Amino acid sequence: MAQIHPKTTPIYQTSVFTFEDLNDLELYFEQPDQKYMYSRYGNPNSDELAEEVNKLEEGEGAVATSSGMSAILTAVLTYCQSGDHLLCAEEIYGGSAALLSQELTRMGIAVSYVPSQELYTLDGHVKENTKLLLAETMSNPLLQVVDLQRLSAETKRTGIKLLIDNTFATPVITKPLHLGADMVIHSVTKYLSGHSDVTAGTVVAAKAEDMERSKQIMRVYGLNLSPFESWLAARGLKTLQVRMKQHCFNALAVAEFLSRHPKVKQVWYPGLPQHPQHKLSKAQGCGMFGGMLSFRLEDDLETVNSFMKALQHIPFAPSLAGVSSSISHPLRTSHRSLNPEQQQKLGITLGVIRLSVGIEETVELLADLAQALEKTK
């Protein structure tokens, strides 16, 4: 049979790999990176995805996981165990907060939340057993931008690790490891895959020894990604650069339009000059500001519902970062687990709508938003 040289990596849809004999098996344990035994331990498709994300983030190794949540779990457990304490930025994805406060505390890991204005002065928050700080490059859902160089300097000064969720920015816009982060996580479900057909995550480390620990956690906890999902994500990753350019272009146009509309009370988008971290975001993101924004209508249920129903091409879907635009409602979805006091403190009210801006024709997006706002009560 002629040799086959596929341009695209085949799907290795297998749970286990075979060996010729005991000597062949022994080679696996001597050189586990050269052979495969069991897909929970490693698979060519998940390895390809991890390697490609590692290249983008310019790290020292990466691992693919079954979801963004499992990526966060893997990263935290890389540095923390029972009896340890971790810090988390107060403005964080609601799912991350639920994992930390509801589950990791049951494992004996204490969690404290740091207000945005205190992120760069951690002395009052760091304890003897504090191991790391978790923050997002751009916060979900109100797009507050973290100064990663400043934050890195502060975590190094206080002797803790810096873990950054780079899902909203992607390595196309910001590379946190370059700015001093110790580890980066992604919900690959979002921009990296990009087509709303994959649930996956990745963890990327600045140091090889940290990545070895992350891989061990992935294998033992069974947080691995399936071969087919890995293949889909790696395929989506090939268009990330060009997709992000269009996401950013459209989002800026939409943000400018919404900021001028009389029915819109407020817009959160780092690309707008009035955004409090606009200059930081411009410098840290190489002039790109991402495809996510949030805006606020009247804090009234009928107002929000009438707007959602009037949209003709932008569905209400509680996720983000697909090629097609979608809206979400943080109060009732991503931040539902927070108590009313926490929601109010973060500014997540009934009228706040998160908009994931896709790569459609800009004029079509603006037209749909315009007609929906016209019909909004």
> How far out from the chain centre does Cα 298 lie?
29
Q: CA 193, CA 258: separation in Å to the nearest integer? A: 28
Residue in 79, 131, 161, 165 annotated catalytic: 165
- Tell me if residue 40 is catalytic: yes
- Tell me if residue 182 is catalytic: no
Q: CA 338, CA 215: separation in Å to the nearest integer? A: 31
Residue in 190, 215, 296, 354 annotated catalytic: 190
- Tell me if residue 296 is catalytic: no
Residue in 40, 150, 207, 235 annotated catalytic: 40
Q: CA 175, CA 178: separation in Å to the nearest integer? A: 6
Three-point CA angle 62, 334, 219, nearest 5°: 30
> How far out from the chain centre does Cα 118 lie?
23
HEC assignment per residue over the chain: CCCCCCCCCCCCCCCECCCCCHHHHHHHHHCCCCCCCECCCCCHHHHHHHHHHHHHHCCCCEEEECCHHHHHHHHHHHHCCCCCEEEEECCCCHHHHHHHHHHHHHHCCEEEEECHHHCCCCCCCCCCCEEEEEEECECCCCCCECCHHHHHHHHHHHCCEEEEECCCCHHHHCCHHHHCCCEEEEECCCCCCCCCCCCCEEEEECCHHHHHHHHHHHHHHCCCCCHHHHHHHHHHHCCHHHHHHHHHHHHHHHHHHHHHCCCCCEEECCCCCCCCCHHHHHHHCCCCCCCEEEEECCCCHHHHHHHHHHCCCCCECCCCCCCCCEEECCCCCCCCCCCHHHHHHHCCCCCEEEEECCCCCHHHHHHHHHHHHHHCC
Identity of the residue numbered 4: I
Residue in 12, 36, 79, 93 annotated catalytic: 93
Q: CA 19, CA 344: separation in Å to the nearest integer? A: 59
- Tell me if residue 190 is catalytic: yes
Which residues form the catalytic set?
Answer: 40, 93, 165, 190
